[in-house]
Structure 1
Amino acid sequence: MGRVVRKRWWAGAAVLGAAVVVAGLMWFKPWALWVDETVHEALPSAPANASATASATASATAVEPAAPAGPTIVAQGTFISHEHTTSGTVKLIRLADGSHTVRLENLDTSNGPDLRVWLTDAPVKEGTAGWRVFDDGTHVALGKLKGNKGDQNYAVPADVDLTGLTSVTIWCDRFDVSFGAAELAA
């Protein structure tokens, strides 16, 4: 009788162990570190008739400031590495219609689970001191990272006040850690 109980105990332990391993693999997704997703998006442009519509509706006596003919770089920075090696540049761009886009160019970082692009008010710190500061203050989630390599755009919601938002991070929401970040400077 003792032998049958031991066999059942070992079988139960093996099933439980396998379940823990599968759950751990699903949570950490280690295979993502070896899979690259490259994205090459063109810089977005405002609709061609956006400024024409605005000027047509303005009164004849009002003087409007001229809208920029194309995209204007408001601020930019270079990524530094945090939890994972990260390189590339980030630009905050104002489009001709007045909307804003965060553009990542020549991005190269590790892939990972649940990566996001955040616009934040946190200072960019080198080393491990900078890994976890981005969720301490104000941050605006711009969306899931489209790819861990290449050029990509993230629209900034129209109601976001950009005052004080001075950095961009590639944030791993699953583990609350920055893969890399860039300080924005005019």
Structure 2
Amino acid sequence: MARARKLLFGPLGIGVLVVTVAAAGFGLYWFQPWKLWQDRTVQETAPVAQVPPGPDGEERPAGPVDGGAEPSGPPSSPSGPRAVAGGELISHEHATSGTVRLVRLEDGSHVLRLENLDTSNGPDLRVWLTDAPVKEGRAGWHVFDDGAYVSLGKLKGNKGSQNYPVPADADLSRYSSVSIWCARFGVSFGAAELGRL
């Protein structure tokens, strides 16, 4: 009994206890298992057409002007955000569903929109544009980081509809898919092929 107490409370026992607590703390930080039971829902509105300001700098109404009278001259062509590519998310390492739209804004910039996203929460999830093909039933480990990709930032929520600005210097002709990428473990939770619309 005295020997067991000496082992438990001696330098060796305390050293083992410290290593065990440190390993448990690191494991909890690294894997963040509580996120499997926590959902984060983000609902952002879709990009909408901007009404250009009038000559005096004030915003013009979107409809008829001057007390309801129709403006003279030919009607202007409709302008505004336009989806140029899109696809359906498929599951890789976690059940994932929703749609992806690449939207071109009036100023020529692009936004990637995730609609009705539903996936698992996890540590360090990112939204990536990639050049990798998306295949049904394919494992998501180390697939999308083998080629060209650009990160659009951290996933805002594992559920809902969200917008991600695409960097102006991104060459969109190089990217053919979108991945919900776990940077911590190098795995795709789900992905979508970007088909041209």
2:13 pairs with 1:10: yes
How does the TM-score come out when normalised to structure 2? 0.80
Runs of 5+ unmatched residues, structure 2: 56-75
Q: Once the 2 structures are TM-superposed, how far is the Cα of residue 10 of structure 1 from its aligned partner?
A: 2.2
Query: What is the aligned partner in structure 2 of residue 69 from structure 1?
Result: 79
| CA deviation vs aligned residue, 1:103-130 (integer Å, no higher than 9, x gap) | 0000000000000000111101233444
Q: How does 1:112-151 map to 2 (within 5 A)?
A: 112-151=122-161
Equivalent position to 2:52, from 42, 49, 63: 49
Maintained 8 Å contact 2:180/2:188: yes
How does the TM-score come out when normalised to structure 1? 0.85
Letter in 2 for 1:18: V
Query: Number of paired residues?
Result: 172
Residue 96 of structure 1 aligns to a residue whose secondary structure is coil
Q: Once the 2 structures are TM-superposed, how far is the Cα of residue 165 of structure 1 from its aligned partner?
A: 0.7
Letter in 1 for 2:13: W
Q: Distance in 1 between matches of 2:36 and 2:174?
A: 33
Residue 127 of structure 1 aligns to a residue whose secondary structure is coil
Residue 112 of structure 1 aligns to a residue whose secondary structure is coil
Q: Distance in 2 between matches of 1:140 and 1:3?
A: 57
Q: Distance in 2 between matches of 1:48 and 1:158?
A: 22
Percent identical pairs in the alignment equals: 62
2:175 pairs with 1:165: yes
Equivalent position to 1:20, from 10, 18, 23: 23
Q: Distance in 1 between matches of 2:124 and 2:47?
A: 25
Q: Once the 2 structures are TM-superposed, how far is the Cα of residue 2 of structure 1 from its aligned partner?
A: 5.5
Q: Distance in 1 between matches of 2:170 and 2:50?
A: 21
Runs of 5+ unmatched residues, structure 1: 53-65
Q: Distance in 2 between matches of 1:146 and 1:4?
A: 51
- Call closer, same or farther: CA 1:98–1:87 in 2, change over 3 Å: same
Which range moved further: 129-138 or 32-41?
129-138
Letter in 1 for 2:17: A
Maintained 8 Å contact 2:176/2:193: yes
Letter in 2 for 1:158: A
Letter in 2 for 1:48: V
Q: Distance in 1 between matches of 2:135 and 2:142?
A: 10
Maintained 8 Å contact 1:68/1:96: no
Q: Once the 2 structures are TM-superposed, how far is the Cα of residue 32 of structure 1 from its aligned partner?
A: 0.7
More helix by share: 1
Query: What is the aligned partner in structure 1 of residue 94 from structure 2?
Result: 84
